[in-house]
């Protein structure tokens, strides 16, 4: 969730660290800080935004340093709790992502040994442990310190007068940016794109020493050569490009990223592009595991695989998966994670692998932890998604699920051809939704004055209702709930009334008539009803108070056009309420702790 950066080279570290931190603001944070090492160690940190820190921070001399953006987990947002954290001598500084489970025990132990703590954080124990074990080698001190730690971490340590950065990771991502006579470290690739597109992803348990001219990595006690990857994203991909917010830019990028993702797979004949596990005769079923927006894509995938492949599919929240005892090695598993670093998803992957399941990862990041754990990886081609609220990553996850289903299809070849043609047409259909943006703004103006909204759908559009509600609540701070339309009568009807609008997602599929009945029931309770319906659907127009129209597509593709319309609805509702759309409160883009 937090962001960490490091730099070592010939240039002034201060400006580079601050710029890298700006690139990580999308991860969410409540405080930030930097430490620059030269002959001495200078630290400046506060519970402010990066721009404010850059404005007031003194000129810190030195060509090596570390930086951090923090979401408070142990101790409130404050200057003293912000990272970097230093030891008693003031010579060693550490930044850390993750959670130290035994920090209270370590704190008591170190205090008894004479160490003095100033913060409420779990991270501060790491800097004191490094000081305790320091005997001339920062690397060995870090290794010894981490031997005492129970928990997850990605850390960078720096020491005054020592021209190196020491890095280590366990259950939290860390990447090294490689350049000429300078090297960079970050928790995520966008932080590095202004300076290099050459990266090395640290593996689980790695510890490394980074100087301006050299990168040394040890794994299981042995020195290894880190595999260098080339990032295909451009700096421009991680900038707003003239849009007011990243979220709006990313919504408008969807025709392109759908086209890019389909272009990767729709003509592919290689077996790597297919779900090989589906052809196994002893397969007992399919399990899809994901979190948040990716979980909603997974739920839609259940309907897609059921219809096109004809296999039983179970979808589970990754965060709840740890509490299931019965897992069969004969279950095929798909794990969906945009970043490839989501802590709950990675934990689920490891458990699946332990019992012998074949695991397919759907992710957006080449070289991510998920891609390295999986037996097979299918990449979405969304490019960097900066806004905390996921938009384009959801639609391209659907594209991959459609293609995986079609590649293993059990339906008639004419149906496969029809669906393949429908996939090819989706970029144009999504563009038609975007062209209707001004009309959607009008409905957003109404919703912005509400405090409670229901979203309902049936069948493959039930997950769309969940996603629509999630988008509205996370960026506009309006209480929103997504429901299977038939479930309203089992309790939520008690909340309906003139001040509780309902957004009904209506597709002309097998659930159509049932949705019409649900709409009539809602109208009888007096709730305003906004329908999302196909162009030319006169029946819905007669029943609903307002209708947002979307282009007609095969019903199996209706989640794509419907979701894009709901993304715009949420965006403009939040804009009317003057909310910080790209950085909603209390949320982070990449959730790297459980």
Question: Could you tell me which of 48, 47, 35 has the C-alpha nearest to residue 127?
Answer: 35
Q: What are phi and psi of 416, to 5 degrees?
A: -60, -45
Over range 404-430, report the average pLDDT.
88
Are 3-231 and 241-434 equal in CATH topology? no
Phi first, then psi: what are they for 52, rounded to 5°? Answer: -70, -40
Q: Which CATH superfamily is domain 3-231 in?
A: Aminohydrolase, N-terminal nucleophile (Ntn) domain (3.60.20.10)
Q: Where are the domains of the chain?
A: 3-231, 241-434, 436-578
d(CA 496, CA 134): 64
**What does the pLDDT read at residue 251?**
97
CA dist 362 and 219 (Å) reads 27
Burial class (CB within 10 angstroms; exposed 0-12, middle 13-18, buried 19+) of 70: buried
SS3 345: helix
Task: Please write the tens of the pLDDT for every residue from 25-43.
Answer: 876 788 899 999 988 999 9
Confidence (pLDDT) at 284: 67
| 9 cis-preceded (ω within 30 degrees of 0) | no
Q: What DSSP assignment string belongs to 303-325?
A: HHHHHHT---EEEEEHHHHTT--
Segment 247-260 shows an average pLDDT of 94
Helices (H), 24-102: 50-56
| pLDDT value of residue 326 | 74
Residue 509 has pLDDT above 50, yes or no: yes
Q: Which of 379, 360, 345 is nearest to 257 (CA)?
A: 379
Banded pLDDT at 169 (limits 50, 70, 90): very high
Please state the separation of Cα 88 from the chain's center in Å.
Answer: 36
- Band of pLDDT at residue 273, cut at 50, 70 and 90: very low
249/327 Cα distance (integer angstroms): 41
**pLDDT, tens digit (0-9, with 9 covering 90-100), for 275-315:** 555 544 455 678 999 999 999 999 999 999 999 888 889 99
- Two tokens at 272? 């790597």
From residue 242, give the alpha-carbon distance in Å to each of 249, 395, 481: 8, 23, 33
Angle between helices 292-308 and 392-407 (to 10 degrees): 20
CATH architecture of the domain covering 241-434: 3-Layer(aba) Sandwich (3.40)
| Per-residue confidence (pLDDT) for residue 283, from 0 to 100 | 59
Ramachandran category for residue 250: left, alpha or beta (phi over 0 → left; psi -120 to 50 → alpha): alpha
Asked if pLDDT for residue 234 goes beyond 90, the answer is: no
CATH homologous superfamily of domain 436-578?
Glucose-6-phosphate isomerase like protein; domain 1 (3.40.50.10490)
- 285 contacts 311 by C-beta, under 8 angstroms: yes
496 vs 538: CA distance, rounded Å = 25
Rounded CA separation 537/59 (Å): 64
The string of DSSP letters for 367-436 reads T-HHHHHSSEEEE-------SSS--HHHHHHHHHHHHHHHHT--S-HHHHHHHHHHHHHHHHHHHHHHHT
**Catalytic residue IDs:** 2, 589
Task: Quote the distance between the C-alpha of residue 547 and its chain's center.
Answer: 32
Higher pLDDT, 264 or 431: 431
Per-residue confidence (pLDDT) for residue 296, from 0 to 100:
97
């Amino acid at each position: 969730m937090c962001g960490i950066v490091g730099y070592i080279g010939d240039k002034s570290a201060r400006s580079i660290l601050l710029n890298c931190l700006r690139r990580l603001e999308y991860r969410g944070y409540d405080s930030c800080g930097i430490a620059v090492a030269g002959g001495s160690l200078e630290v400046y940190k506060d519970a402010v935004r990066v721009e404010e820190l850059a404005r007031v921070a003194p000129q810190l001399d030195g060509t090596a340093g570390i930086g951090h953006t923090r979401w408070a987990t142990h101790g409130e947002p404050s200057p003293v709790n912000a990272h970097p954290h230093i030891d008693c001598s003031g010579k060693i500084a550490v930044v850390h992502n993750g959670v130290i489970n035994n920090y209270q025990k370590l704190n008591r132990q170190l205090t008894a040994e004479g160490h003095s703590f100033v913060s409420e954080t779990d991270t501060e124990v790491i800097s004191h442990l490094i000081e305790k074990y320091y005997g001339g080698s920062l690397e060995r001190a870090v290794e010894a310190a981490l031997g005492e730690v129970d928990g997850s971490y990605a850390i960078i340590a720096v020491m005054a007068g020592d021209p190196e950065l020491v890095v280590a990771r366990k259950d939290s991502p860390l990447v090294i940016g490689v350049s000429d006579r300078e090297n960079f470290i970050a928790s995520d690739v966008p932080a590095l794109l202004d300076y290099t597109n050459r990266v090395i992803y640290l593996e689980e348990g790695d510890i490394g020493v980074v100087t301006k001219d050299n990168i040394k990595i040890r794994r299981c006690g042995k020195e290894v050569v880190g595999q260098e990857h080339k990032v295909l994203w451009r700096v421009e991909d991680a900038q707003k490009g003239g849009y007011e917010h990243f979220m709006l830019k990313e919504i408008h990028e969807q025709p392109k990223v759908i086209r890019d993702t389909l272009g990767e797979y729709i003509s592919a004949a290689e077996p790597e592009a297919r779900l090989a596990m589906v052809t196994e005769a002893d397969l007992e079923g399919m399990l899809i595991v994901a979190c948040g927006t990716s979980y909603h894509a997974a739920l839609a995938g259940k309907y897609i695989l059921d219809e096109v492949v004809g296999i039983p599919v179970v979808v589970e929240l990754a965060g709840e998966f740890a509490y299931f005892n019965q897992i069969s090695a004969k279950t095929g598993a798909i794990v969906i994670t945009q970043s490839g670093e989501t802590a709950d998803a990675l934990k689920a992957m490891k458990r699946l692998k332990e019992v012998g399941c074949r695991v397919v990862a759907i992710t957006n990041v080449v070289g991510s932890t998920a891609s390295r754990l999986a037996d097979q990886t299918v990449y979405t081609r969304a490019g960097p998604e900066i806004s905390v609220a996921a938009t384009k990553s959801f639609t391209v996850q659907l594209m991959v699920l459609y293609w995986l289903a079609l590649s293993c299809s059990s339906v008639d070849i004419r149906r496969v051809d029809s669906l393949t043609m429908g996939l090819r047409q989706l970029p144009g259909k999504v563009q038609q939704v975007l062209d209707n943006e001004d009309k959607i703004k009008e409905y957003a103006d109404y919703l912005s004055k509400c405090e409670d909204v229901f979203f309902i759908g049936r069948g493959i559009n039930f997950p769309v209702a969940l996603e629509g509600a999630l988008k509205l609540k996370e960026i506009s701070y309006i209480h929103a709930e997504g429901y299977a339309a038939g479930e309203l009568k089992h309790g939520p009807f008690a909340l309906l009334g003139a001040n509780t609008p309902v957004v009904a997602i209506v597709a002309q599929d097998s659930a159509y008539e049932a949705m019409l009945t649900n709409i009539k029931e809602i109208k009888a309770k007096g709730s305003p009803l906004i329908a999302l319906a196909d162009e030319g659907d006169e029946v819905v127009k007669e029943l609903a108070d307002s209708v947002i129209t979307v282009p007609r597509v095969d019903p199996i593709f209706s989640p794509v056009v419907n979701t894009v319309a709901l993304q715009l609805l949420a965006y403009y509702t939040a804009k009317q309420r003057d909310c910080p759309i790209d950085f909603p409160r209390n949320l982070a883009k990449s959730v790297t702790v459980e």
